[in-house]
C-alpha cells in the first residue's frame, strides 16, 4: 500500500513531532550525563580543597619547624654574642704597704680593666693581719691600668702580708651614641698636661728631713672639674717607695695649676715621680657647670 502524500504543513508537523520524541527519549541519558559531570566536578573540587588543606598543614608544619630551628639558632647566636661581649674581669695586682708617716701606712694595688667598652665601679678595702683599712670607693676606666689606694692607715707596727678585697662591683657599658670612639672621648676629657715632676728631700723638719714633689698641671681639656684627683707615684729603682694623692679644687678648663706633695717617713735621697689623673669621667657630678649656664649639657655625658 502506497504511503499517503502529506501536505507540506502536515510534513512540518510530523518532523517536529519526531524531534520532540527524540528529545523526550534522550532526556534521561542527558540527565545521567549531567549528573555524572556534576559529581566529577564536585569530586575534583573536594580533591583540590583537600590538596590545598593538606599542603597548607604540611607546609605550615615545616615552616614552624624551620622557624623553631631558626629561633633556636638565633637564641644560640645571641647568647654567643652576649657571652662574647661580656666584660672581662679586672686584673688585680698584689697588695702592698709602705710607710706614710711614723704612725701610719699607705696601702696600694694595681688594677687593670682590659675592656674597651666597659668601665667598673666598686668598693674595696685592704687588710693585713689585724689591720683593716676603711672602705674606699673605686672605679677604673675602659682600658685603664691604675692604682687603688688607702692612705694614712693607723697601725702600731708595719702591717705584713697585705691583701685587697673588691666588693659591690658594677659594670657599665659605654654608650656609643655619645662616645663612638671611647679612647678618643677619654683623651678629650682627660687632656691634662703635666710637667715633669721634681723630687727633692730638702725640707728640714725638726731633726729630720721630708721630701717633696712639685709639678704643674694644665687643664687642656674643654671641661672644668670640681675636685679632680691626681695620683703621685714615687719610684726608686723600679719599686714604689711612696704614693699620694693631690686634689686640685675647681680646676677650670684652660687653667694652669701648681701642686706640691710632701713625703714623710723613710724617704729616699733620690727618686722619680709620676703623676696620673684619677677622675671618673662618666660621673656627671665631677663636672663644673660651664660659665653662663645652669648645668652640664646632658648630651656630653655618658649614661649608664
Place of cell 709602705: 98
Q: For residue 76, give the 3-state DSSP assignment.
A: helix
Distances (CA, A) of 104 to 101, 207, 236: 5, 19, 21
State how far the alpha carbon of 131 is from the alpha carbons of 44, 105, 118, 128, 193, in Å: 94, 10, 33, 5, 38
Write out the chain's pLDDT in tens, 304 residues: 555 665 777 677 777 777 777 777 667 777 777 778 778 777 878 877 777 677 666 656 556 566 555 556 554 444 444 444 589 999 999 999 999 988 899 999 999 999 999 999 999 999 999 999 999 999 999 999 999 999 999 998 999 999 999 999 999 999 999 899 999 999 999 999 999 999 998 776 666 678 999 999 999 999 999 999 999 999 999 999 999 999 999 999 999 999 999 998 778 889 999 999 999 999 999 999 875 444 444 445 444 4
What is the total residue count of the chain?
Answer: 304
Q: Residue 182: phi, psi to the nearest 5?
A: -65, -45
Answering whether pTM is above 0.75, one says no
CA atoms of 230 and 224, how far apart (whole Å): 15
Amino acid at each position: 500500500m502506497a504511503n499517503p502524500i502529506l501536505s507540506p504543513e502536515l510534513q512540518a508537523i510530523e518532523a517536529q513531532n519526531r524531534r520532540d520524541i527524540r528529545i523526550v527519549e534522550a532526556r534521561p541519558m542527558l540527565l545521567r550525563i549531567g549528573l555524572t559531570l556534576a559529581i566529577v566536578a564536585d569530586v575534583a573540587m573536594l580533591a583540590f580543597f583537600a590538596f590545598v588543606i593538606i599542603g597548607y598543614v604540611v607546609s605550615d608544619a615545616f615552616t614552624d619547624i624551620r622557624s623553631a630551628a631558626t629561633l633556636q639558632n638565633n637564641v644560640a647566636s645571641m647568647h654567643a654574642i652576649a657571652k662574647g661581649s661580656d666584660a672581662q674581669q679586672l686584673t688585680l695586682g698584689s697588695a702592698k704597704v709602705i710607710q706614710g708617716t711614723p704612725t701610719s701606712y699607705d696601702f696600694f694595688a694595681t688594677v687593670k680593666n682590659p675592656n674597651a667598652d666597659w668601665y667598673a665601679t666598686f668598693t674595696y678595702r685592704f687588710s693585713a693581719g689585724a689591720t683593716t683599712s676603711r672602705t674606699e670607693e673605686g672605679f677604673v676606666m675602659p682600658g685603664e691600668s691604675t692604682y687603688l689606694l688607702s692612705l694614712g692607715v693607723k697601725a702600731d707596727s708595719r702591717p705584713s702580708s697585705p691583701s685587697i678585697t673588691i666588693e659591690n662591683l658594677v659594670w657599665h657599658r659605654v654608650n656609643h651614641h655619645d662616645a663612638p670612639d671611647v679612647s678618643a672621648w677619654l683623651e678629650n676629657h682627660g687632656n691634662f698636661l703635666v710637667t715633669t715632676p721634681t723630687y727633692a728631700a730638702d725640707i728640714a723638719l725638726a731633726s729630720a728631713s721630708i721630701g717633696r714633689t712639685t709639678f704643674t698641671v694644665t687643664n687642656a681639656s674643654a671641661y672644668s672639674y670640681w675636685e679632680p684627683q691626681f695620683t703621685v707615684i714615687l719610684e726608686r729603682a723600679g719599686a714604689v717607695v711612696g704614693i699620694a694623692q693631690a686634689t686640685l679644687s675647681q680646676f677650670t678648663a684652660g687653667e694652669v695649676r701648681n701642686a706640691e706633695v710632701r713625703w714623710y717617713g723613710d724617704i729616699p735621697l733620690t727618686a722619680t715621680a709620676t703623676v696620673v689623673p684619677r677622675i671618673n669621667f662618666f660621673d656627671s657630678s665631677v663636672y663644673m657647670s660651664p660659665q653662663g649656664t645652669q648645668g652640664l649639657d646632658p648630651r656630653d655625658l655618658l649614661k649608664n
